[in-house]
Amino acid sequence: MTVSQNFNDWMLSNQRAIEDALSSYLPSVQQVPARLHEAMRYTALDGGKRVRPLLVFAAGALFDVDAGLLTRAAAAVEMIHVYSLVHDDMPCMDDDALRRGKPTVHVKYDEATALLVGDALQAQAFTVLSEGNGDAVRTLAMIRLLAQAAGSAGMCGGQAIDLASVGKSLSLPELEQMHRLKTGALLRASVFLGALCGKMLEPGEEAALDAYANAIGLAFQVVDDILDVTADSSTLGKTAGKDAADNKPTYVSILGLDASRQMAEKLLEQAQSALLPFGSKAERLNQIAELIVHRNA
Amino acid sequence: MTVSQNFNDWMLSNQRAIEDALSSYLPSVQQVPARLHEAMRYTALDGGKRVRPLLVFAAGALFDVDAGLLTRAAAAVEMIHVYSLVHDDMPCMDDDALRRGKPTVHVKYDEATALLVGDALQAQAFTVLSEGNGDAVRTLAMIRLLAQAAGSAGMCGGQAIDLASVGKSLSLPELEQMHRLKTGALLRASVFLGALCGKMLEPGEEAALDAYANAIGLAFQVVDDILDVTADSSTLGKTAGKDAADNKPTYVSILGLDASRQMAEKLLEQAQSALLPFGSKAERLNQIAELIVHRNA
């Protein structure tokens, strides 16, 4: 992966910022119930590439933003993402023992705790967003976007389609719809939440960000499917080859490896051309699109 | 139970209103994913006394309220409550097969669907609240209150303490703390959300509603514990005698039946005297306190 030193520094500094933000916005283990709070911190802190918070920060660079609200937005989307991982890993869903290189919450603690950790993280995401003292109208718009992206018309809905599709053959449009909901909706929300920290969006800005978000959302999943067959578990920090073993439809199983790689490159072009109206202010969003497509884990 | 005809009419009319509101604010089964939406509607519609929505409506009667926002608030608190029931009934938690007289979601559908139904209902609660077009500052305050009440400092936290307490002997203060979080927080949020549909609260109003909410929250649980040993499953619509069978600490197991009944009556008095500053505008809140203490299911 070719990442410029400048982008790498930006990424590291923002990954540190999101780590600090999550740590301060998650309840302390001194607070009752200590074990639940310990488990929430165990799963949310010190792990992951933080792609969604990076998207929030990168979209925030488009405008003059309220920095406090931006950090809250980054923490909130990551809490939603982390909660979804905790629940997805549970025995009744994907039944996975390893996540971000660590035992999953139901393995390290127990299933009931994993269920509550996810539930409490979702509530905490909305707490963090709503406790800011920025502009009320824009904050409300951000909450609305995040809630819609997390719910049955977004992430949860995609997960339900995913579960129902195991062992079935999906058409390419069906696979795309599943991923648009399952991972695309929250990536899109990350971009829009970051932008809304600056201003309410004009229709043209909204359309450009929509095109960008749709392209990187799809690219994210195509690359995930590629890595599932080409990378090993220790690099991924989760069990590799799992989709094939579970007989889940993927881009690689439908299109093959080469065509999937070409599709990812084409989506990168689409994402970057959608950002042209923003000029150099979109530098970070451009670089994240490249990161998503050219990552190796 | 002695309920005036007038209150009974009010209750029935508001129960119909919340049923209609839930039906319109829940995604239709025509929308993808149909099975998830069907399961969300199965568990949320046509069941329960709707105590929390009734509290929202009753607190709304204290002030001149935005009626649209009030209905959204009532639907949102009920969605949070219903999601918590769905998750609590799952095998890794209370493992219950019957709820509101119907098979629980994981029995009727499957565990993965129950998990997603709960997750999606929580998101939908915040969607419904944030999609209103009422006053942004008050809406944001309502979202903040609801998120705090639902999370680890509220309902989820109480559930975690409850799980950890099975088979242990709790002191009365420990038992109270558990219930203040587990059921009290959301009942309190219902009262405050209803009031906030009218105006931002003065400190005196806040203190009075806090005292009322704390008293009915505690009373609600004391009466639950009494009914768990005195009522049968068909009246309750859930499995009776379950707490005793699970060796869970209850007010009845700590205080005995008579002292628990006296405690419930005393809490009713406290709740009603807290409302005196509101005069006759608190009529519905007074009647709900009576309903909570004198219900038989």
Cβ contacts of A170 on chain B, cutoff 8 Å = none
Looking at domain B5-294, what is its CATH homologous superfamily?
A: Farnesyl Diphosphate Synthase (1.10.600.10)
Q: Is the pLDDT of residue A1 over 50?
A: no
Judged by CB atoms within 8 Å, which residues 212-271 of B form the interface with A?
none
Q: Is the pLDDT of residue B261 over 70?
A: yes
Over residues A117-141, the mean pLDDT reads: 96
pLDDT tens sequence across B159-208: 999 998 887 888 888 889 999 999 999 999 999 999 999 999 999 999 99
Kindly list the domain boundaries of chain A, sorted by start residue. Answer: 5-294
pLDDT for the residue numbered B240:
67
Distances in Å between the Cα of A277 and the Cα atoms of A62, A63, A218 are 11, 13, 22
pTM: 0.95
Q: Do A140 and B139 touch (CB under 8 A)?
A: yes
Judged by CB atoms within 8 Å, which residues 113-142 of B form the interface with A?
113-116, 118-120, 122-124, 126-127, 130-131, 136-137, 139-140
Q: Which of B87-101, B110-124, B216-230 has the highest mean pLDDT?
A: B110-124
Q: Is B151 on the interface with A (CB under 8 A)?
A: yes
pLDDT tens sequence across A180-238: 999 999 999 999 999 999 999 999 999 999 999 999 999 999 999 999 899 876 666 66
pLDDT tens sequence across B112-166: 999 999 999 999 999 999 999 899 999 999 999 999 999 999 999 999 999 988 8
- Residue among A34, A130, A36 at smallest CA distance from A83: A36
Work out the pLDDT band at B227, boundaries 50, 70, 90: very high
pLDDT for the residue numbered B138:
96
Q: Do B119 and A156 touch (CB under 8 A)?
A: yes
Q: Is the pLDDT of residue A80 over 80?
A: yes
Smallest Cβ–Cβ distance between B160 and the set A36, A92, A143 belongs to: A36
Q: Is A36 on the interface with B (CB under 8 A)?
A: yes
pLDDT for the residue numbered B237:
67
Q: Is A33 on the interface with B (CB under 8 A)?
A: yes
Over residues B70-99, the mean pLDDT reads: 96
Q: Do B40 and A137 touch (CB under 8 A)?
A: no
Residue of A nearest to B115 (CA): A87
Cβ contacts of A147 on chain B, cutoff 8 Å = 123-124, 126-127, 130
Q: Is A45 on the interface with B (CB under 8 A)?
A: no
Q: Do B160 and A124 touch (CB under 8 A)?
A: no
pLDDT tens sequence across A46-58: 878 999 999 999 9
The region of weakest confidence among A127-131, B142-146, B172-176, B259-263 is B172-176
What DSSP assignment string belongs to B120-164?
Answer: HHHHHHHHHHHT--S-HHHHHHHHHHHHHHHSTTTHHHHHHHHHH
How far is it, in rounded angstroms, from Cα A116 to Cα B180? 17
pLDDT for the residue numbered B1:
47
Q: How close A153 gets to chain B, by Cα (Å)? A: 8
Provide the mean pLDDT of chain A. 93
